[in-house]
């Protein structure tokens, strides 16, 4: 059922790209009601406008807090056109029907980003706008509601195509968007008052949905909600896929734990190579050496500017994505030689406070694992020397970023073997040792990190046999002493951190 727009209420904060709509409404003979700055804008387009104050016989009061909250406005929006009693009351109280409402909301989120002054933030909590949006959305059978400048183009197309008439499908679509806008706005306000801590309801609202080519697999739909431009400048390459985004997040979470020049390779969210060295080129070579097979098609990440020497070396292998804080001009020239290769310049760290998982028709929420160790408790045969301590700290961070059950073997700040995602910690260690042998690493003097405790001394025994001299683990098993006694008997270092790092 089509309805002709004969009257409109327009009151907006953002007036960009509104000119064509205002002029088209004027051409179509639509009566326009407006307020303040919007009224002046409309009149500046040469279009007649009725002040809301003239309709309500009340001025804008309380410093602009109350402008449209009046029965003559809301009655005209909420009246059911098929209801004789509603129409009689409109006539009785001289209330005009309003067929189109164009309003937006005060920029609350932008204000929160730009100031900490509470009064300025509070004043950007919109009251009238939200009320108008909800009223018009509720009466979508008769009223068109446009609640965001993002919909101006859609409205202009409808007005042009149907000469100012709308279908019920049009109005329902605009209403759905309007309630989305209100819901997002309310979540932002609630989170401000909660200081971004969890409340009684699980509330997350993120704009800027970006449809991926597909999800994890081609038969799955995928959408990313967030603003990648806040974190990256994309300098080259195709669009990031669902799986790319998951790996990029894992890479960024890992690399921001290191201050020394470090390069890492990520595959399916697991670290398959990482090293810290005095130069980026050396760090890259050492990271790649950790697992040259797995690096194929991986995500690369570093924490220093990519120079030409490093770029030339990287360019020799196939990879999906390279993330760096910056790229030298000549390095970019080298790396942009392949059109699909994605190059991301990271502008700021990933600042996630919470991690979420959907399970059992619900949502699990937890703090992001920002810790590394609670204590440094030497319980083995001797304290770690300086080199061992540096490697143990390095290994502990790497292990934290591997899927459980996880083991990381490190030597000279280079990952030389890893086992991840295993159902047995022994299997994880065996896999790590096999990987180190595959790439000809000598484990004599290497260190081992485990994401969780050892319930028996089997892992430390296997590690000792492989040449590993130092172990870091959280401790907490009722049989911790079995592993401790083994290290004491075999001149091994064992550090207990008191902090587990499961990653499922």
User: Which string of DSSP letters, residue by residue, matches 264-304?
Assistant: EEEETTEEEEEEE-SSHHHHHHHHHHT-TTTTTTEEEEESS
> How is residue 341 written in tokens?
């290769």
* Cα separation, 159 vs 144, whole angstroms: 11
- The answer to whether the peptide bond before residue 405 is cis (omega within 30 degrees of 0) is yes
* Cα separation, 463 vs 468, whole angstroms: 5
> How is residue 40 written in tokens?
């002046």
Q: Which of 240, 224, 270, 255 is nearest to 350 (CA)?
A: 255
Asked if 354 and 332 touch (Cβ cutoff 8 Å), the reply is no
Chain centre distance of CA 131: 30
* Cα separation, 181 vs 189, whole angstroms: 13
* Cα separation, 154 vs 132, whole angstroms: 20
> How is residue 237 written in tokens?
């390459």
Q: Kindly report each contact of residues 282-287 with a partner whose C-beta sits within 8 Å and lies 24 or more positions away, as own/partner.
A: 284/310, 284/313, 284/314, 285/313, 286/414, 287/263, 287/414, 287/415
Phi, psi torsion values for 319, nearest 5 degrees: -140, 160
Q: Which of 6, 184, 268, 304 is catalytic?
A: 268
Q: Which of 124, 138, 149, 207 is catalytic?
A: 138
Is 464 an active-site residue? no
* Cα separation, 224 vs 39, whole angstroms: 38
- DSSP, collapsed to helix, strand or coil, labels residue 500 as coil
* Cα separation, 316 vs 206, whole angstroms: 39
Q: Which of 448, 373, 451 is nearest to 416 (CA)?
A: 448
* Cα separation, 274 vs 349, whole angstroms: 19
Is 219 an active-site residue? no
- Alpha helix locations (H) across 107-165? 108-114, 118-122, 128-138, 152-161
Catalytic residues: 138, 268
């Amino acid at each position: 059922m089509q309805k002709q727009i004969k009257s409109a209420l327009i009151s907006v904060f953002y007036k960009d790209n509104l000119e064509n709509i205002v002029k088209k409404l004027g051409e179509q003979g639509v009566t326009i009601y407006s307020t303040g700055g919007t009224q002046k804008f409309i009149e500046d387009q040469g279009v007649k406008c009725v002040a809301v104050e003239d309709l309500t016989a009340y001025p804008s009061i309380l410093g602009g807090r109350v402008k449209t909250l009046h029965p003559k406005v809301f009655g005209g929006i909420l009246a059911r056109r098929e209801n004789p009693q509603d129409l009689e009351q409109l006539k009785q109280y001289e209330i005009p029907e309003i067929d189109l409402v164009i309003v937006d909301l005060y920029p609350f989120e932008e204000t929160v980003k730009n100031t900490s002054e509470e009064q300025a933030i509070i004043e950007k909590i919109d009251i009238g706008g939200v009320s108008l949006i909800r009223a018009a959305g509720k009466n979508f059978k008769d009223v068109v509601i446009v609640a965001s400048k993002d919909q101006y183009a859609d409205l202009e197309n409808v007005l042009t195509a149907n000469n100012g008439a709308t279908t019920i499908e049009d109005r329902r679509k605009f209403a759905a968007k309007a309630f989305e806008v209100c819901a997002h706005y309310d979540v932002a306000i609630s989170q401000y008052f909660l200081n971004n801590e969890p409340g009684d309801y699980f509330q997350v609202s993120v704009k800027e949905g970006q449809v991926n080519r597909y999800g994890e697999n081609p038969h799955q739909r995928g959408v990313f909600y967030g603003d990648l431009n806040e974190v990256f400048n994309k300098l080259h390459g195709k669009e990031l896929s669902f799986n790319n985004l998951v790996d990029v997040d894992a890479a960024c979470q890992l690399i921001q734990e290191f201050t020394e020049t470090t390069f890492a390779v990520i595959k399916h969210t697991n670290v398959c190579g990482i090293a810290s060295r005095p130069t980026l080129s050396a760090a890259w070579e050492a990271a790649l050496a950790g697992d040259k097979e797995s690096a194929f098609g991986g995500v690369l990440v570093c924490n220093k500017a990519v120079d030409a020497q490093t770029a030339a070396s990287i360019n020799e292998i196939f990879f999906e994505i390279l993330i760096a804080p910056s790229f030298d001009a000549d390095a970019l020239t080298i790396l942009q030689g392949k059109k699909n290769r994605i190059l991301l310049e990271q502008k700021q760290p990933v600042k996630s406070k919470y991690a979420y998982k959907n399970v059992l028709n619900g949502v699990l929420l937890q703090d992001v694992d920002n810790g590394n160790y609670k204590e440094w408790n030497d319980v083995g045969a001797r304290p770690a020397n300086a080199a061992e301590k540096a490697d143990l700290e390095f290994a502990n961070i790497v292990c934290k970023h591997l899927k459980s059950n996880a083991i990381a073997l490190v030597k000279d700040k280079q990952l030389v073997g890893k086992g991840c995602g295993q159902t047995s910690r022994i299997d994880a260690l065996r896999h790590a040792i096999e990987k180190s042998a595959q790439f000809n690493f000598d484990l004599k003097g290497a260190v081992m990190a485990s994401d969780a405790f050892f319930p028996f001394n089997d892992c430390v025994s296997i590690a000792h046999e492989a040449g590993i001299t130092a172990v870091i683990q959280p401790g907490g098993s009722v049989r911790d002493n079995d592993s401790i006694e083994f290290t004491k008997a075999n001149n091994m270092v064992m550090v207990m951190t008191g902090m587990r790092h499961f990653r499922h």
